[in-house]
Amino acid sequence: MVYFPKWKVALVLVVCLLGVAYSLPNFLPKSLTESLPGGLPSQQVNLGLDLQGGSHLLLKVDTDDLTRGKSGREKAEIRDDAVARSLEVVRRRLNETGVVEPLIVRQGDEGIVVQLPGVTDPERIKTLLGRTAKLSFHLLAEPGTPARRLPASEGDRVYPLKPLPLLDGGNLEDARLGFEPRTGQPVVNFQLDNEGARKFAEITTHHVGDPFAVVLDGKVITAPVIRSPITAGRGQISGGFDAREAGDLALLLRAGALPAPLEVVEQRTVGPDLGGDQIRMGVATGLIGAALVLAFMVLAYRRWGLIANTALVINLGLVIGLLASLGATLTLPGIAGLILSVGMAVDAN
């Protein structure tokens, strides 16, 4: 008689129970999984673009300004660096929006492909990705001195600013949506890193009473007067935002600025390769096929077939549970792989 140590038996049972717990939500309605108690697994396997449809965007990184006057190898290095940094910023921005399992890959020299499963109206995503989000802080130029004239984000006013910024978004550590206590107006509360806080304290100490402009993408959002030194490294950006605009601005500032503008070259709304009826038919066919395999194993091998069937069900449960717990995306090739694993598991057993 084969003997297994108790700890091995216990380990196998625990793994099997975890597999069942993590795979079970995939067979329940989404409304039911959302109402499960907090301690229970509720994550379902994400469906890829080919199964649930979504949006496909092709972006181009406009590096013309960065590479102007450069040639040959230096130009290629600058372009490659800009595209690589843009990829990371795009990834951070999409992660902040809560899009599940976006696919972000480079295409060619200056292209970035973004696939968004389940997103059929990507207008907000396009707006977020299309903004460079370059933040800087400037003092206003005195009359008769060199100035960089920038328009206000709202209205016709033009501000004469000192050409060089005293601080930029690279020193930003965090940015969150907030509300002005007195007026209830949505604002963006930001926190600077140690270096930025030190610079900010010096600027606000030496320029009390001077206007201090906040510039985003070449437009002045606000230009408040410095009332007192700000030494804690925290500040507030207000500009007549509504809550969504302030939230989006905070998101952009957290994710960081793009090194170069992004242009949407192509946009497609992608339908699932398999329609809803075909997907349901495929699931039903798979279940019928699995049932026939299970029945054949029992009829052909009796008790041993029952043991093999148990192992097969556990194997599938573990695979689905692992996919769900890792937040993996299931695509058409993935379904084919699951079907193949059934045959391999039966053969092995």
Dihedral sign for Cα 107, 112, 116, 121, please.
negative
**What is residue 106's predicted lDDT score, i.e. its pLDDT?**
92
Query: Residue 194 carries which side chain, given as an amino acid letter?
Result: N
**What is residue 278's predicted lDDT score, i.e. its pLDDT?**
60
User: Domain limits of the chain?
Assistant: 6-47+274-348, 54-270
**What is residue 279's predicted lDDT score, i.e. its pLDDT?**
63
Residues 260-282: tens digit of each pLDDT: 889 889 888 877 665 566 666 76
CB atoms within 10 A of CB 214: 23
Range list of β-strands (E), the chain: 46-47, 54-61, 103-107, 111-117, 135-139, 148-151, 158-161, 167-168, 172-179, 186-192, 212-216, 219-222, 234-237, 262-270, 329-330
**What is residue 275's predicted lDDT score, i.e. its pLDDT?**
55
CB atoms within 10 A of CB 32: 10
Tell how many helices (H) and how many strands (E) occur in the chain. 11, 15
**What is residue 46's predicted lDDT score, i.e. its pLDDT?**
77
**Fold of domain 54-270:** Gyrase A; domain 2 (3.30.1360)
Dihedral sign for Cα 187, 221, 229, 210, please.
negative
**What is residue 87's predicted lDDT score, i.e. its pLDDT?**
92
Structure-block tokens of residue 308: 């093999």
Residues 302-335: tens digit of each pLDDT: 888 888 888 888 888 888 888 888 877 777 777 7
Residues 138-159: tens digit of each pLDDT: 999 888 888 889 998 888 889 9
Matching residue, tokens 């965090």: 174
- H helices of 136-229, in order, are 194-206
Contacts of 260 (CB under 8 A, 6+ apart): 61, 62, 63, 65, 66, 82, 86, 132
SS3 298: helix
Average pLDDT value for residue range 214-219: 89
Average pLDDT value for residue range 242-270: 87
Residues 41-77: tens digit of each pLDDT: 777 777 777 777 788 899 999 988 888 877 778 888 8
Residue 230 has pLDDT above 90, yes or no: no
pTM of the model: 0.69
Contacts of 11 (CB under 8 A, 6+ apart): none
